[in-house]
Amino acid sequence: MDALGTDFAKIGSILSGSLTNSKVRIRGWVHRSRTSGGICFLVVRDSTGVVQCAIKKDAVGESSFISASQAYIESTILVEGVVKQDARAPGGYEISASSVKLVAQGEPFPIAKDQSVEFLLDTRHLWLRSQRLTNIMKARHKIIFYLREFFEKEGFWELAPPIITGAACEGGSTLFEISYFGEKAYLTQSSQLYAEVFTTALENVYVLAPSFRAEPSRTVRHLCEYWHLEPEMAFYDQKMNMRLQERMLEYVCQKMADSHPDLLLAIGRQPEKLKAVRAPFKRMTYEEAVEIAARSGANIKKGQDLGADEEALLTKDEEKPVFVTNFPKEIKAFYMREDPSNPGTVLNADVLAPEAHGEIIGGSERIWEYDELMRRLKENNLNPKDYEWYIDLRRYGPFPHSGFGLGIERLVKWMLNLDHIRDAIPFPRTINRVYP
């Protein structure tokens, strides 16, 4: 038996029942192992699941049996045998081995049960093989797939923004500065300003790219590097923007609940929770949100931004996301258009995810007129020189437009009901960790 080639069954097909009583070859890694007398039970995993293999000395020969029973957790192995239905085996099937080959024994795997969080983060490159992280990464893939599918159906174009930029999008305090051949440059905080450029040619666009925030916060929802989905739409006002967000979240939640209930359950998420996410969502103004949060005991005054505690109070009993609109312009970014019918506030909305997960989307109608943009740059002490190209969009064929930014890991954390955002991304970058 050779480890290369395509002549292998996937464990997932065995577990689906389609290979019962057939002879198969599988290829994978030892997940669990137990030997007693002349029989060795190896639970083998591949990318699609785990299956138990019963390896008898009489059936495979002495030397193969010895090497199989000496396999470590995570040793690489090939097994050939007949698939039997067996209620006692995990997943309900067992392979009765006729031949087994240890491809590589390797060294004893360092991760055993009950390791500390820090140890598991130090060995993240190995821990990513765990069933839990494998399932979460599969769900993450599907969630991103359905987001792209939604925008494809809506006729949007996906474009690639630059990651190295010359100016801030979301304010200077969380910028990562880099040396760019002796010039100051930054890792992008948001691709929004470039997405706005793309609307002038392609109208409805999105980018899916990493954003970087030098966040000094050590919370369950902050990363220094996260994946950011940023749609931007020509001729959309803020109401249309919010309706699009609602439909997008409904789409991805319904798709996950309908198409991947087993994956959700394996992660500990009830599919019904996602099934409940149907448009329209509740809308409240910032002013109402502050009153509600203060009444429920939050320590917040008007004019202050909503924090994790306030967002938790606002959403802990909600089944669906909630829009909070019309924030004071002083606490929001320079590019948000002032609300003509509610001066002092902007035409924006944050989407707060239910069950206390908090903000997953920030979006707004953009300032599209030259004079208003110049005024707001000034009020924000930003140098128009740094934004010349962005200002140009208000010189040549300006038009109303809106957009939003969705944090992929925040979305995954909520949809899968994870305790911590770090498990929504393979290699979390946080204030005290860039290894591995």
Contacts with Mg ion, residue ranges (CB under 5 A): 362
Instruction: Note whether 350 and 307 are within 8 A (CB).
Output: no
Residue 323 in the binding site for ligand 4AD (CB under 6 A): no
CB 346, min distance to Mg ion, A: 12
Q: Is 192 in the site for ligand 4AD (CB under 6 A)?
A: yes
Which one of residues 361, 367, 412, 416 is an interface residue with ligand 4AD (CB under 6 A)? 361
In the complex, the smallest distance separating the C-beta of residue 222 from ligand 4AD, rounded to whole angstroms, is 4
Q: Kindly state the smallest distance separating residue 218's Cβ from ligand 4AD, in Å.
A: 11
Regarding 403 and contact with ligand 4AD (CB under 6 A), the answer is: yes
Q: What is the CA radius of gyration of the chain?
A: 26
Note whether 325 and 365 are within 8 A (CB): no
Interatomic CA distance for residues 295 and 284, integer angstroms: 15
Is the Cα dihedral 210, 215, 173, 312 positive or negative?
positive
Q: Give the Cα separation of 314 and 290 in Å (integer).
A: 9
Taking the C-alpha atoms of residue 317 and residue 298, their distance in angstroms, rounded to an integer, is 16
The yes or no reply on residue 161 touching ligand 4AD (CB under 6 A) is: no
How many CA atoms lie less than 13 Å away from 81 in the CB half-sphere? 26
Least distance (Å) from ligand 4AD to the CB of residue 177?
17
DSSP for residue 317: T
Confirm if 199 and 205 have CB atoms less than 8 A apart.
yes
Q: Give the residue, chosen from 27, 222, 269, 329, that forms a contact with ligand 4AD under the rule CB under 6 A.
A: 222
404 scored as a contact of ligand 4AD (CB under 6 A): yes
* By CB under 6 A, residue 362 contacts ligand 4AD: yes
DSSP-derived pairing of the beta strands 23-36 and 204-212: unpaired
Q: Report the DSSP pairing between strands 157-158 and 204-212.
A: parallel
Query: Would you count residue 250 as binding ligand 4AD (CB under 6 A)?
Result: no
Site string for ligand 4AD, 169-188 (x = CB under 6 A): xx------------------
245 near ligand 4AD (CB under 6 A): no
Do residues 80 and 98 make contact, with C-beta atoms less than 8 angstroms apart?
yes
Q: What are phi and psi of 9, to 5 degrees?
A: -85, 150
203, interface contact from ligand 4AD, Mg ion, none, CB < 5-8 Å by kind: none
- Compute the least distance from the CB of residue 351 to Mg ion, in Å: 10
Residue from the set 394, 409, 416, 422 that interacts with ligand 4AD by CB under 6 A: 409
- Residue 8 or 323 with smaller CB distance to ligand 4AD: 323
Residue 190 touches ligand 4AD, criterion: CB under 6 A:
yes
Cβ proximity of 334 and 380 under 8 Å: yes
| Smallest separation (angstroms) from ligand 4AD to the CB of 219 | 9
In this chain, which of 27, 101, 142, 228 binds ligand 4AD, going by CB under 6 A?
Answer: 228
Containing 227, the helix (H) or strand (E) segment is strand 225-234
Which span (145-153, 371-379, 383-391, 406-414) binds ligand 4AD, by CB under 6 A?
406-414
How far is the C-alpha of 85 from the C-alpha of 91, rounded, in Å? 9
Q: Using CB distances below 5 to 8 A depending on partner kind, what does residue 260 bind out of ligand 4AD, Mg ion, none?
A: none
Q: How far is the CB of 196 from ligand 4AD (least distance, A)?
A: 9
Helix locations, 117-233, DSSP H: 117-122, 124-127, 131-153, 192-202
Name every residue whose Cβ is closer than 8 Å to that of residue 319 and which is 6 or more positions away in sequence.
273, 276, 277, 354
Write down the least CB distance from residue 362 to Mg ion, Å.
3
Choose among Mg ion, ligand 4AD, none what residue 228 binds, the Cβ cut-off being 5 to 8 Å by kind: ligand 4AD
The helix or strand, by DSSP H or E, that contains position 357, with its residue range, turns out to be: none
Residue 363 as a binder of ligand 4AD (CB under 6 A): the answer is: yes
Please give the biggest Cα pair distance in the chain.
86
Q: Which residue, judged by CB position, is nearest to Mg ion in the bound state?
A: 362
DSSP assigned state of 51 = E
Provide, rounded to whole angstroms, the least separation between the CB of residue 30 and Mg ion: 45
Residues at the contact surface with ligand 4AD, assessed by CB under 6 A: 169-170, 190, 192, 213, 215, 222-223, 226, 228, 230, 359-363, 403-407, 409-410
